[in-house]
């Protein structure tokens, strides 16, 4: 039964959708993404008290209920070795160690803010002034990003111009789905230059962009969608918007041109995840 559950979990793990759940240190991942779902799937009610006990006995439990059936080192594991390797491949790059300082460039509606904040002492969130100051529903109340973190010592909010002026360099950066919304190659390059200038010599940034999207086939047929660069400009009631699909090779090439060294690229569900440091 447990082997079956492990296999289902491994198979159905939606890496991209759950990036915010798994973006954290290994301990949190083991508990929240493996041990607690496993307990629930075998019918156990996981109370807060039980959660704390699971966290306390994480190592022992992982060996008893997970590695025993799905060890990547076992020659004949009960779960298909290919599934195990596939899952490990997808998860491993997210087990990032804790650092002192991180920025999230183009934070949007703060989709990843909590998960990223768990991996760093200080987090700078960056976006346009419009995005940071507008009222929107965040954490179930109407407020602005600037307001939300007004009192925070750990989270600093910068608009793109303030960030450019900043004299600080960061250990880690995230730039998730940002180049894809910029309808100009020159402005995309400018974005890479800014990020390059804000990383420490030993720092790294994770760039995520989509290279495949099933909606694009539909968009091609829409009269309001006009092909532009590597994507479409869409004319809607809310004004014009752009979305581009950036192929993994093209992302890597533009990073190299901007003075980055590509450490690793992983592809998953139509998105490319590239870790880059300074060349």
176 binds ligand SAM (CB under 6 A): yes
Residue for token pair 């991209």: 16
CB proximity list for 235: less than 8 A, separation 6 or greater: 224, 225, 226
Cα 214 to the center of its chain, rounded Å: 20
108 binds ligand SAM (CB under 6 A): yes
Q: How far apart are CA 148 and CA 115, in angstroms?
A: 16
Which residue minimizes CB distance to ligand SAM? 108
- Cα→Cα distances 200→104, 120, 168, 258, Å: 15, 15, 9, 15
User: In the complex, what is the shortest distance from the CB of residue 108 to ligand SAM, in angstroms, rounded to a whole number?
Assistant: 2
117 binds ligand SAM (CB under 6 A): no
The Cα angle at residue 157 between residues 153 and 160, in degrees rounded to 5:
150
- Selected from 182, 229, 233, 234, the binder of ligand SAM by CB under 6 A is 182
**8 to 37: interface string for ligand SAM, x by CB under 6 A:** ------------------------------
Q: Can you name the residues that pair with 242 across neighbouring β-strands?
A: 233
**66 to 105: interface string for ligand SAM, x by CB under 6 A:** ----------------------------------------
181 binds ligand SAM (CB under 6 A): yes
In the complex with ligand SAM, the residue whose CB is nearer, 133 or 265, is 133
Nearest to 264 by CA among 275, 251, 272: 275
Where on the chain is the footprint of ligand SAM (CB under 6 A)? 106-108, 111, 126-128, 131, 160, 176-178, 181-182, 191
């Amino acid at each position: 039964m447990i082997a079956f559950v492990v296999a289902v979990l491994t198979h159905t793990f939606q890496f991209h959708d759950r990036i915010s759940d798994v973006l954290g240190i290994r301990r949190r991942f083991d508990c929240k993404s493996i041990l607690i779902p496993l307990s629930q799937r075998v019918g156990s009610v996981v109370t807060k008290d039980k959660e704390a006990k699971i966290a306390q006995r994480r190592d022992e439990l992982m060996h008893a209920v997970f590695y025993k059936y799905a060890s990547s080192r076992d020659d004949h594991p009960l779960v298909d070795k290919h599934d195990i390797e596939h899952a490990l491949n997808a998860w491993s790059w997210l087990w990032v160690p804790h650092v002192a300082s991180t920025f999230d460039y183009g934070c949007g509606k703060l989709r990843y803010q909590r998960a990223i904040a768990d991996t760093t002492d200080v987090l700078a969130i960056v976006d346009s002034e419009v995005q940071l100051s507008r009222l929107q529903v965040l954490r179930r109340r109407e407020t602005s990003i600037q307001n939300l973190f007004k009192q925070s010592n750990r989270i600093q909010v910068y608009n793109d111009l303030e960030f450019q002026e900043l004299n600080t360099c960061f250990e880690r950066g995230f730039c998730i789905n940002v180049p894809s919304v910029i309808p100009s190659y020159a402005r995309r390059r400018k974005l890479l230059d800014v990020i390059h200038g804000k990383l420490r010599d030993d720092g790294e940034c994770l760039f995520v962009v989509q290279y495949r999207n099933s909606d694009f086939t539909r968009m091609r047929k829409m009269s309001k969608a006009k092909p532009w660069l590597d994507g479409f400009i869409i004319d809607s009631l809310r004004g014009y918007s752009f979305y581009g699909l950036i192929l993994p090779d093209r992302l890597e090439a533009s990073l190299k041109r901007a003075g980055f060294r590509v450490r690793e690229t992983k592809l998953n569900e139509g998105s490319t995840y590239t870790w880059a440091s300074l060349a």
